[in-house]
Structure 1
């Protein structure tokens, strides 16, 4: 009996000691886990996931000129240096996945998006940071005379009349948006013999090659596209002249966008402060102009002044 009592007492002390040690360990583990979770939450709260997408020469994710696109430079030289309170992470995604990322992640942002009502449901947008000439028509300079029946004041092209006449063949990238007005026109005249839809993987390059071979008379696109393809591929495309379309607005604005929520609103508020500086807007406009053919430079400056007019100083 004495032996049993002795063993029982020893067991009790061992159990109490083990419980105490376990309690201390658990307390330490919980505290450590809590600290780790707090650090992770703090890191997530101060990190911006910048989603970038292949759309040269806005973004150039690989090959010659990598990281030297218009929006690449705007992000690297102006936005990120002026957002020192955050860590910045770059994630490459296909353009189709971009909206999904900004919808599902609380700290996701992107630069260079167009704003529309559907996107505003899940994203918060900055003030404009960039204005560009809307897509227009490009034609070999040797063939400019063919466009004279369709040219209006300011060398704007009456695109609807050109489509209706079916005299000149227009090269169009299948599935690409050229702005609401032009998309509607292309849908209206769908099936016309003078609309050539190209669905090749590299449709832009393919259309420029077809133009050089005389298979299409003119191409829809942005004025910087021919310059980019020439510089990247060293392909001797035919020298083209760009014509704005009567049906397009004067310019299209690009924005920074972040996931809708407190974090995104905070980041966008700080971005708006950066974009209030005219010197930064002018620098971004210069990157854009650098990709344009020489004869499009005056139009680019006109677009910039329309989008970002100089505010008159208040009289004292």
Structure 2
């Protein structure tokens, strides 16, 4: 999933394995009947994972801990690993870590057909607000001309307007729909290239730009870190308003597949998804209201669909 760092957000390169993190919940179980060891591999995506002073925090770290606390009969280890290396090691069936009584797992993965060949995925665990147009909270009225009847930003109109300046992180992808407009307008005079995601909030606070693309949780992370006195708001983008889904995946070993079965049982026993409150805490008040409303709709839809399933 392409969710970043203080430790700047994960599009930056990271050199190699940074080693094991000693965390309070990591005490190994000495029970001889323990079903195996889960090696939780942590990519550097803040505010999902934030590594500072030997401590791992962030909403995905809290979610991971929540599930680890309910998998007490496993041993658990934590490693920081760049996403590309994590996937390569999960794919490598000859990797000693994927053999015997171990399984590599990760908490922020997005399933796709290729990954399903070597990763077992749990049911949806993480829900995220999508990439949005982030503005100064007091400027919302200025964006009314670019909104449709549902209050969603129409990118074709906004990005073509030379009076509304923005900045784009060099080399970053925002998804197919947004990238189409980015390529069309990248060289327009009202669009400034920058090399660091954290600079975008500073430029917004200084009034040098009027809006930016961010995940709402990412925007709030940088706001708290870089411009804590600035008030911001996320505006949904037309055609890009659905919640993003991610989940826990474990390498397709016997231990990994067994762990995913257990995790799915935990998910089924908690249909209100209480662990998603960790994510909600990383949103601005306005974005939190948007997320909680969208989550309620998501949960109700899933529960309704479950009622339609044939009974065995």
Normalising by structure 2, what TM-score? 0.76
Q: Cα distance, 1:272 vs. partner?
A: 0.9
- The one of 286, 291, 294 equivalent to 1:303 is 294
SS at match of 2:181: helix
Match of 1:245 in 2: 237
Question: Structure 2: how far apart are the matches of 1:63 and 1:207?
Answer: 26
Please list every run of 5 or more consecutive structure 2 residues that lacks an aligned counterpart in the other structure.
Answer: 1-31
Q: Contact (CA 8 Å) 2:34, 2:75: kept in 1 or not?
A: no
Q: Cα distance, 1:62 vs. partner?
A: 1.4
SS at match of 2:246: strand
Question: Structure 1: how far apart are the matches of 2:197 and 2:220?
Answer: 12
Match of 2:208 in 1: 215
Match of 1:76 in 2: 65
Q: Cα distance, 1:83 vs. partner?
A: 1.7
Check 1:288–1:108 CA distance in 2 against 1; reply closer, same or farther (3 A cut): same
CA deviations on 1:104-129 (whole Å, 9 max, x unpaired) are: 24221100122223333332211101
Bigger helix fraction: 1
Match of 1:178 in 2: 174
Q: Cα distance, 1:43 vs. partner?
A: 11
Question: Structure 2: how far apart are the matches of 1:206 and 1:314?
Answer: 48
CA deviations on 1:11-39 (whole Å, 9 max, x unpaired) are: xxxxxxxxxxxxxxxxxxxxxxxxxxxxx
Question: Structure 2: how far apart are the matches of 1:63 and 1:230?
Answer: 21
The 5 Å alignment of 1:133-282 reads 133-199=129-195, 203-233=196-226, 235-278=227-270, 281=273
SS at match of 2:62: helix
CA deviations on 1:68-110 (whole Å, 9 max, x unpaired) are: 3111111112x11222332111001123423223222422110
Check 1:292–1:84 CA distance in 2 against 1; reply closer, same or farther (3 A cut): same
Match of 2:278 in 1: 287
CA deviations on 1:132-153 (whole Å, 9 max, x unpaired) are: 1101011112332321111123
Question: Structure 1: how far apart are the matches of 2:180 and 2:121?
Answer: 26
Q: Contact (CA 8 Å) 1:53, 1:61: kept in 2 or not?
A: no
Question: Structure 2: how far apart are the matches of 1:169 and 1:115?
Answer: 35
SS at match of 2:51: coil
Match of 2:115 in 1: 119
SS at match of 1:298: helix
SS at match of 2:135: strand
Q: Cα distance, 1:244 vs. partner?
A: 0.9
Q: Contact (CA 8 Å) 2:63, 2:276: kept in 1 or not?
A: no
Check 1:314–1:256 CA distance in 2 against 1; reply closer, same or farther (3 A cut): closer
Question: Structure 2: how far apart are the matches of 1:183 and 1:49?
Answer: 35
Q: Cα distance, 1:44 vs. partner?
A: 11
Q: Cα distance, 1:172 vs. partner?
A: 2.3
SS at match of 2:65: helix
Q: Cα distance, 1:302 vs. partner?
A: 2.0
Q: Contact (CA 8 Å) 2:223, 2:230: kept in 1 or not?
A: no
Q: Contact (CA 8 Å) 1:212, 1:237: kept in 2 or not?
A: no
Please list every run of 5 or more consecutive structure 1 residues that lacks an aligned counterpart in the other structure.
Answer: 1-41
Question: Structure 1: how far apart are the matches of 2:194 and 2:211?
Answer: 13
Question: Structure 2: how far apart are the matches of 1:57 and 1:300?
Answer: 16
Aligned length: 268
